[in-house]
A and B are shown apart, each in its own frame.
Chain A
Amino acid sequence: MSEYNGEIKKMMIILSKATLDSVYAAFVLANGARMEGIESEMFFTFFGLEALHKEKMEDLHVATVGNPAMHMPTMLGGLPGMEALATHMMKKEMDKLDLPGVKEFIEILSASGVKIWACRLAMDMFHYKKEDLADELDGVLTVGDFYQRAKGIGTHMLFI
């Protein structure tokens, strides 16, 4: 029997949300895996699909309501313009760190060898067509297809 030392060989990252912080967390994790020589694949489902949608990807927001880490009263967070303001501030900080925008980040991920999959069910639910999504899309999969791709020792799966 061969010894398995626990080394991570492949990251399967599922993105189900399109708040800016969730999207960047998923992207940095997927990209970071490739930077370590680890295989990495992303499955965009439900609202996560918005991060792949050509017309929506550059207009993602930080959530100011229902996000206790914003340290802002829920009532205030719901005021018009609050979300835009918080998003603007976060984007400014990300610029300083040389973080790319969503579109460019997807290009970097794809060039780095990250596989980019959209969820069949979510596509049907939102009435999205393949053409609506980034050109870097590798295909549309069922959840079963995605699990099949996770085969092998050292695969880890993350849900964001």
Chain B
Amino acid sequence: MEKVIAGKTIAVNDEGYMTDLSQWSPEIANELAKEASIELSPRHFEVLEFLQNQYKNEVPLTIRRVGASGVVDIKEFYALFPAGPLKMSSKIAGIPKPASCI
């Protein structure tokens, strides 16, 4: 599936998650965040960068690992991405939807 966002065409799956991280850019992130009613701050981008690195290193994401990362604690993670932090942040970071139950 394809989607035009921030003047670019990106590949997404049926849930709107990007399927090619190399197409990601901060501008695209801003637009994806707007769809989730979030205005991205520099703090958001620090978290997105961490998530992308975890994905590149093939580390499965859990709330616990994000909380223990030293980048953001769990409370702030929820404050930054209120309606489901792990899924929402992954979507904006351009990485696949996490399959974790915790």
Contact = CB atoms under 8 A, between A and B. Distances in A.
B74 interface: yes
Interface string B77-89: 0100011111110
Identify whether the interface residues of B are mostly helix, strand, loop, or mixed.
Answer: helix
A108 to B, nearest CB: 6
Contacts of A112: 63, 74-75, 78
B101 interface: yes
Given A35-B84, A112-B78, A98 B63 contact: no
A153 interface: no
Contacts of A37: 82-84, 88
Contact of A111 (B62, B73, B87, B102): B73
Nearest to A34: B78
A113 B84 CA distance: 12
Contacts of A97: 102
A100 B85 contact: no
A4 B65 CA distance: 36
A67 to B, nearest CB: 22
Contacts of B101: 28, 32
Nearest to A107: B74
A113 B64 contact: no
A2 B16 CA distance: 28
B67 interface: yes
Contacts of B88: 37
A-B pairs with the 8 shortest C-beta distances?
A: A37-B83, A111-B74, A37-B84, A111-B75, A36-B84, A98-B62, A35-B84, A100-B64
Interface of A: 28, 31-32, 34-37, 97-100, 104, 108, 111-113
